[in-house]
Amino acid sequence: MEKKLIQSVLRAVKILDIVSEKKEGIGLKEISDKLGLGSSTVFYLINTLVYADFIIQINNKFKLGPKNLKLGNNYLENLSIYNSALPILENLLVKINENIYLFMNANNEFLQLAKLESTHSVKPTRVDTNKSNANATAIGKILISDLSNDKLKEFFNNKSILNKYTDKTITSFDLFCEELEKIKRDGYALDCEESESGVNCIAAPVYNHEGKIKAAIGISIPTQRFSEKLLIKIIPLIKQIALEISSKLGFRN
């Protein structure tokens, strides 16, 4: 099946490629000639890229803008976290044989970097962790646990009552703040059927070289295998694993 592509987006990407090859900058006419398009068409495309900080204009020349650096740094950081964590998480999977997830917070958008599945026939099919249910998931709790109170209010759009997913979800903003304080003290978070009935999760933070939380490791366990005995085994293990990955990212405790 032929993919439907948007011509203007392809042209914008091509403009970025052309501009990136000219460190000293490049003029509108030269870009138009390389694309085989009229100057007016290219002008509007470039203006859009300038508005979005992908391109900057200095006199009559165009150069790459700061947004490219930000995206590149984000890509490298994601790659670094993934590459550092994957072999460690693979070893953890052998020890516990439960689903393991690695998420990071990128400007309050939760990105799944890795998912390692257990060999059990009964296991969670997915972990739905996002901004809207951060109050109900162990991973979400970890990823926002170092936000200031003002930033936390902003994150939840100043709601005093948070979204409810099961009867066990913490919906009071004030009670949730108390939960986050406990998480910061304990160094891990729990979600005991708070986001989905029959599914439990334990999560721990991964820190970068600045001591900021950049990711979270989560272990998801169905209720039929979830127990106090299992918690006693897994909590110190996940904290240790998270610290090991953090150290690879330059964190010093």
pLDDT digits (tens, 9 = 90+) for 194-218: 999 999 999 999 998 889 999 999 9
Contact 143, 213 (CB under 8 A): yes
Percent of the chain with pLDDT over 70: 95
Name the segment(s) of the chain with CATH classification 3.30.450.40: 73-248
Closest C-alpha to 221, from 99, 121, 135: 99
168: its two tokens: 């066990």
54: its two tokens: 């992908």
Q: How confident is the model at residue 252 (pLDDT cuts 50, 70, 90)?
A: confident
**Residue 51: which residues within 8 A CB-CB, separation 6 or more?**
none
pLDDT digits (tens, 9 = 90+) for 47-74: 999 999 999 999 889 999 888 877 776 6
Name the segment(s) of the chain with CATH classification 1.10.10.10: 7-64
Q: What is the DSSP string of 201-231?
A: EEEEEEE-TTS-EEEEEEEEEEGGG--HHHH
pLDDT digits (tens, 9 = 90+) for 143-170: 999 999 899 999 999 999 999 999 999 9
pTM for the whole structure: 0.72
30: its two tokens: 């030269």
Q: How confident is the model at residue 31 (pLDDT cuts 50, 70, 90)?
A: very high
What is the pLDDT of the chain when averaged over all its residues? 90
- The domain over range 7-64 is classified in CATH as 3.40.50.720: no
Angle between helices 228-248 and 66-96 (to 10 degrees): 140
Contact 185, 174 (CB under 8 A): no
Rounded CA separation 147/149 (Å): 6
Residue 178 has pLDDT above 90, yes or no: yes
Q: How confident is the model at residue 1 (pLDDT cuts 50, 70, 90)?
A: very low
Task: Determine the pLDDT at residue 234.
Answer: 94
In CATH terms, 73-248 corresponds, of 3.50.50.60, 3.30.565.10, 3.40.630.40, 3.30.450.40, to: 3.30.450.40
**Residue 238: which residues within 8 A CB-CB, separation 6 or more?**
92, 188, 202, 203, 204, 217, 219
pLDDT digits (tens, 9 = 90+) for 75-87: 766 668 888 899 9
